[in-house]
Structure 1
Amino acid sequence: MGQWYESISPDFIEWIKKQKIFFVATAPLDGRGCVNTSPKGHDSIRVINSNQVCYLELSGSGIETQSHLEENGRITFMFMAFEGGPRIMRLIGTGRVVRLGCPEFNQLLEDHFQDSDLYDAQGKRAIILADIRKVGTSCGYAVPYYEYKGPRPTLVNFFSKKDDAAMDAYWKLKNKFSLDGLPGMRHEMMGPEWVGKNRGPGEPVMLPSSWMAAEGPMTASNITAWIKSGTGAANLTILSVGIAIGAGVNALINRRR
């Protein structure tokens, strides 16, 4: 049934090339946070070597994968056979975000994606580059057969109508925070206030002492994202304490009058 390997064998690489869809899973460090799973289509993934893969990420309404990778680097890829012999394959490792427009992005794009249908597509957001430490296969006996009819063009067509300024506005509107309030898109093209460090090869994940410290001064949008990142009970407790402190300060001021 299930087996584990230390690298992606040549046979596995050829099998991965034939798959038309894969999934990536990430999660924040906070145990209350949202575990994210994203499906990926088009000709978007490349196996660079036996322990490294990358995929070309298009823009979307969420920013979970990038936010989680910037915080802790953990990622799992899952492939499954919908035709031919049954198989499920998971690639477990650590990844980083290579942002659109940086020299490493441009090099990866030229080296690995010139033959992809996404090479000239508008809406490219990043390349996710992952170092794989475990490769797992399992039977896949319960995965049904499906017939592949072709890539769905809707997302590519949607972003093809947007110029660079419209893309920046879309990222600022949709990709500012993850669902749990982690910092989202950090890109030079969006202005100095949006620039974030693009972690280089071999660099460890540097965890901020707190999300608020990484995010900077308190703003209305920060407060909203921070509230969303907590549980209802926790937020209610903090709000109650704040009200009590405020009432105490107000009573003290009135007494001194």
Structure 2
Amino acid sequence: MGQLYEELTPRLREFIARSPMYFVATAPLAASGRVNLSPKGGMDTFTVLDGTTVAYLDLIGSGAETIAHLRENRRITLMFCSFTRQPKILRLYGEGECVFPDDPRWDGLIGRFGSHPIPRSVIVVDVRRIADSCGFTVPEMSLIRERDLQDKWGENKTQHQLEEYMVTKNSRSIDGLPARPPREEPVRSGAGPAEVQR
């Protein structure tokens, strides 16, 4: 059944690498605030930095809940689950930080991901608790293909259009928390897979 780990073992890293998708959950501090849960596709958007640190590529999408929540309180949970014959769920509980393109750490992180046209930030997570569980009720399914619709959407936008989109759609969370950092630098393209609700 369930087990706790001090760090991401080679077996857990292999499980993560084989996962076709993962889930990200965050929440504001306010009791009336909405919990956000986002599915993430494209495993070239996720990387293990060391035994207790992971990161994923955050792409421009229709919302910015994760960024707003992390800027307020840093709490984040990542979940991987098996849809194959061997059932398993892996949860990573930790504290997250958004690294934006104007951060000195950006260049050292962005090369760890696949190439995508609309990177918004890199979410770096300091993992504080690593736990797996059985996943006995998760259905067994087959992956047909990954979607590339978000990449195609981004390829058809100029940098100015992407910046305007983020001002309009990504400035605040649905609960009104600020999501955009105070910067004027336009979005830099060059890496990262896609997704439409982040």
Contact 2:82 2:89 in 1 (8 A): yes
In 2: Cα distance, 1:189 partner to 1:68 partner:
21
Q: How does 1:135-214 map to 2 (within 5 A)?
A: 135-186=130-181, 188-189=183-184
Give deviations 1:211-257, integer Å, cap 9, x for gaps: xxxxxxxxxxxxxxxxxxxxxxxxxxxxxxxxxxxxxxxxxxxxxxx
2:8 is aligned to 8
1:199 is aligned to none
Higher relative contact order (CA 8 A, sep 6+): 2
Q: TM-score, normalised by structure 2?
A: 0.90
Residue 104 (structure 1) aligned with residue 136 (structure 2): no
The one-letter amino acid paired with 1:106 is D
Contact 2:84 2:142 in 1 (8 A): yes
Q: How does 1:228-243 map to 2 (within 5 A)?
A: none
Runs of 4+ aligned residues of structure 1 deviating over 3 Å after TM superposition are none
Q: TM-score, normalised by structure 1?
A: 0.70
2:72 is aligned to 71
- Residue 6 of structure 1 deviates from its aligned partner by 2.1
Residue 44 (structure 1) aligned with residue 45 (structure 2): yes
Residue 55 (structure 1) aligned with residue 63 (structure 2): no
The one-letter amino acid paired with 2:39 is P
Give deviations 1:116-153, integer Å, cap 9, x for gaps: 2xx2x221100000000111100001000111122101
In 2: Cα distance, 1:78 partner to 1:160 partner:
29
> Quick one: which of 107, 125, 128 aligns to 2:120?
125
Q: Which has the greater radius of gyration? A: 1
The answer to which of 182-191 and 148-157 deviates more is 182-191
- Residue 103 of structure 1 deviates from its aligned partner by 2.2
Q: Which has the higher helix share?
A: 1
Q: Report the RMSD for the aligned CA atoms in angstroms.
A: 1.3
In 2: Cα distance, 1:8 partner to 1:18 partner:
14
Contact 1:7 1:133 in 2 (8 A): no
Size of the aligned set, in residue pairs, is 185
In 2: Cα distance, 1:187 partner to 1:142 partner:
44
